[in-house]
Structure 1
Amino acid sequence: MKKVLMMYDIKVKHEYFILLLGELLKEKANIFLYKKYRSSFPIFLNVLRLKGCKIIHFHFIHNLAGFHTKFKLKFLLKSIIFLIDIYLVKYILQTKIIWTVNNLLSHELFFPRLEKFIRSHFAKKTDIIITHCNRVKKIVQKELKIPQDKIYMIPHGNYLKGYKNEISKEKARELLSLGENQLVILHFGYIRQYKRIDNLIDNFLRLKNDGNIKLLIVGKAFNKIGEFLIKKSKGDNNIIFSFRHIPTYDVQIYMNASDIIVTSYNRILTSGTVILATSFGKPVIAPRLGCIPELLNENSAFLYNPQEKNGLLKALQKAIDSKGKLKDLGQNNLKSIRKFDWNTIARSTKKIYERFFN
């Protein structure tokens, strides 16, 4: 099979890529990983390095396109170089471009109109776009203004094999100094502004709480947002913070100690946190955004409209009132997520590659 350049830096450990790559290699896909170059046009140089490379598969493009910088001149320069790089590989080297769209816009959004323009222009130069659900397929088509027949749906795989799951609920709570009979609500993952954790804290503080309902907010905090959230919590002892990177092995401790996982995004396409929660057999509180309504329903989650003033508060209260049903709801999630195995996803991805090899 001819060569495919996967735009993924192996030094950045990401379970999504590790699981996808592992199954693609089992399927005999000829995958090569992106190598960093300290020069202009790194994508072009990567394709030149891999003689016979016919496909580039992009996932997250924010670093390559310069979206991570808050300096406008640097942003423009990086974005222009990125687009020239795309033109070089597409029209000079005749390389096919595939893009799996995980985000419509960057999490830390500095120049929305410029970024949307760059992403839309890049989308028009791709040969195939992959989304993780049909709902997002329609969103991407509308927002990026691309034809529907160019977009394919391949779901995001589960994390059943991505993380250890051998610590009991009792042991996990002992390690975190949590009580056996407490109701534990967990917000897990990077602490970023778009996740609206401030709104989650505001709503949690409005709940009637005798001290037996705990909110855990766990993950590495960005841009001093941790300090802001601590102030928001007003010293409430029922809100417990752990602003640090959680090693892969320790993910199970927080997941298994919790009764329910909460997300409070104001925008999202694919939520890795929701997929992680379902892979640990946990029910979820989440907004009806992106792929979430296709993954979850009333038998496995407490979904809310993020535009509704008290939507999150009502979902939190409903989850608390349904304490006796939470385990069953989590088991429903576990059953549903099993079908999204990585081997099936890898085979679907390989079929898309083969379209350009025949």
Structure 2
Amino acid sequence: MTGALRIVAWPAHKKCYKNPYPCLLYSQLNRHGVDVREFQFSSSLQGPFHILHIHWPLEDLLDPNRPWQSRVKVLGVLLILRYMRWRGTRLVWTIHNLQPHDAYFPTLQAWFWRQFIPLLHSYISLSQTIAQQAQHHFPQLARLPKCIIPHGHYRDAYPNDIDRAAAKARLGIPVTTKVLLFLGLIRPYKNVPALIKQFRHLPVYDWQLVVAGQPISETMASQVQQAANQDPRVQLHLDFIDNDRLQVFFNAANLVVLPFSQIANSGSALLALSYNCPILVPSLGALKELQTQVGTSWVQTYQPDLNASDLQRALHWAITTLRPAQAPLDPFEWSVIGRQTLACFKAIAS
């Protein structure tokens, strides 16, 4: 490798309003003098670049209402990746998910992965567990060099300047009432209706379940509302939660729950921990590793599917376990992750 490291990232900054992960990462690389560009069809012709860093390769390609356009986009991207590889750019995939959350066009997706994986020079896994699962899912990855670099935290990425009493007041919740929180886009695999039903089975009246997030469809919204059945112990905020409102929900929470049936990495969990909320998560993907890294006073796991007994134990654990004021997130500092990523890219580019 000669000269300053030049990276084209897919995405770099254009998706930061949805997930600040790329921006937090590349701001660290910029501090080390790395030139990071946004991946576009036109930018692929401007190289050569040392690295093409790919995050969510199918996210912007598949539209359930436009099957032919989806096929054209998939084919076009694969042609561009082949061209960039031919010009000497190294292709690196950070594995956020092993498969997209939405199962649009399964035959097209399967074909894409068969073409995509052989184009890679290396990959980054956010945990050792996911690296092992990825190699099982895509055996060709076992022949590639890899870097294990954790997901960073979200402290300082979002506003956080109100206390628990003020947050509960904003939600109309008495300060003495404890809050169990689910926050995020509501998709079928997240099992939010089942969470509501299990909570309503519990004979607890000093807790309130708050569900905050936009359902993926009207059908999903209806299922959530039917599960709540106007129970006063369940508060629904079924809309998009913008960055300024995140602190209201997280700072009101005594416990955050992720009732997912599938999850690879720990972004949602780290968001809650960044607001110093203890979390109840499935023993899936990287979350068992996260419990080891952060400690059992902050991370409680359950075996899917979440049931009322799991919830009951977690509610008791959340309020009786002694823990410091801040979750210990030193391994997830972006300055550390930036140095690790830079070392990884230099090794791949050399």
- The normalised TM-score by structure 2 is 0.90
CA contact (8 A) 1:6 1:31 kept: yes
After the TM superposition, which residues 68-107 of structure 1 pair with which residues of structure 2 at under 5 Å, given as runs? 68-69=63-64, 72-91=67-86, 93-107=87-101
CA contact (8 A) 2:278 2:297 kept: no
- The 1:332–1:294 alpha-carbon spacing in structure 2 relative to 1, beyond 3 Å, is farther
Indicate the residue corresponding to 2:7 in structure 1: 4
The more displaced of 234-243 and 297-306 is 297-306
Indicate the residue corresponding to 2:25 in structure 1: 20
SS in 2 for 1:286: strand
Question: Equivalents in 1 of 2:334, 2:131: separation in Å?
Answer: 20
CA contact (8 A) 1:191 1:221 kept: yes
Indicate the residue corresponding to 2:145 in structure 1: 150
SS in 2 for 1:251: helix
In structure 2, which of residues 265, 279, 285 is the aligned counterpart of residue 284 of structure 1?
279
In structure 2, which of residues 152, 158, 161 is the aligned counterpart of residue 163 of structure 1?
158
Is 1:272 the counterpart of 2:295? The answer is no
Indicate the residue corresponding to 1:348 in structure 2: 340
- The 1:120–1:151 alpha-carbon spacing in structure 2 relative to 1, beyond 3 Å, is farther
Measured against aligned partners, the alpha-carbon deviations of 1:201-241 in whole angstroms (never above 9, x if no partner) come to: 1211211133x221111122222222221112122121111
After the TM superposition, which residues 1-358 of structure 1 pair with which residues of structure 2 at under 5 Å, given as runs? 1-8=4-11, 10-12=13-15, 13=17, 14-35=19-40, 42=41, 45-49=42-46, 51-64=47-60, 66-69=61-64, 72-91=67-86, 93-145=87-139, 146-147=141-142, 149-210=144-205, 212-224=206-218, 225-296=220-291, 298-307=296-305, 311-326=306-321, 328-329=322-323, 331=324, 334-335=327-328, 337-358=329-350
- The 1:148–1:342 alpha-carbon spacing in structure 2 relative to 1, beyond 3 Å, is farther
The more displaced of 152-161 and 294-303 is 294-303
Question: Across the two proteins, how many residue pairs are aligned to each other?
Answer: 340
Indicate the residue corresponding to 1:39 in structure 2: none
- The 1:5–1:77 alpha-carbon spacing in structure 2 relative to 1, beyond 3 Å, is same
**Where do 5+ consecutive residues of structure 2 fail to align?**
none
How many Å apart are 1:324 and its aligned residue?
Answer: 3.1
SS in 1 for 2:59: coil
How many Å apart are 1:355 and its aligned residue?
Answer: 2.1
Question: Equivalents in 2 of 1:100, 1:270: separation in Å?
Answer: 11
How many Å apart are 1:76 and its aligned residue?
Answer: 3.4
How many Å apart are 1:80 and its aligned residue?
Answer: 2.5
How many Å apart are 1:254 and its aligned residue?
Answer: 0.8
SS in 2 for 1:5: strand
Question: Equivalents in 2 of 1:26, 1:138: separation in Å?
Answer: 32
The amino acid that maps onto 1:288 is S
**Where do 5+ consecutive residues of structure 1 fail to align?**
36-41
CA contact (8 A) 2:255 2:318 kept: no
- The 1:94–1:134 alpha-carbon spacing in structure 2 relative to 1, beyond 3 Å, is same
The amino acid that maps onto 2:221 is G
CA contact (8 A) 2:177 2:207 kept: yes
The amino acid that maps onto 2:38 is L
- The 1:355–1:301 alpha-carbon spacing in structure 2 relative to 1, beyond 3 Å, is closer
The percentage of counterpart residues that share the same residue type is 22
CA contact (8 A) 2:283 2:301 kept: yes
SS in 1 for 2:269: helix
How many Å apart are 1:129 and its aligned residue?
Answer: 0.7
Measured against aligned partners, the alpha-carbon deviations of 1:222-279 in whole angstroms (never above 9, x if no partner) come to: 2222222111212212111112222223211111101000001111111322001111
Question: Equivalents in 1 of 2:285, 2:107: separation in Å?
Answer: 21
CA contact (8 A) 2:53 2:93 kept: yes
The amino acid that maps onto 1:3 is R
The amino acid that maps onto 1:266 is S
The more displaced of 156-165 and 70-79 is 70-79
Question: Equivalents in 2 of 1:63, 1:319: separation in Å?
Answer: 34
How many Å apart are 1:115 and its aligned residue?
Answer: 1.9
How many Å apart are 1:195 and its aligned residue?
Answer: 1.1
CA contact (8 A) 2:12 2:26 kept: no
How many Å apart are 1:15 and its aligned residue?
Answer: 1.7
CA contact (8 A) 1:5 1:55 kept: yes
RMSD: 2.1
How many Å apart are 1:165 and its aligned residue?
Answer: 2.1
How many Å apart are 1:354 and its aligned residue?
Answer: 1.3
CA contact (8 A) 1:299 1:332 kept: no
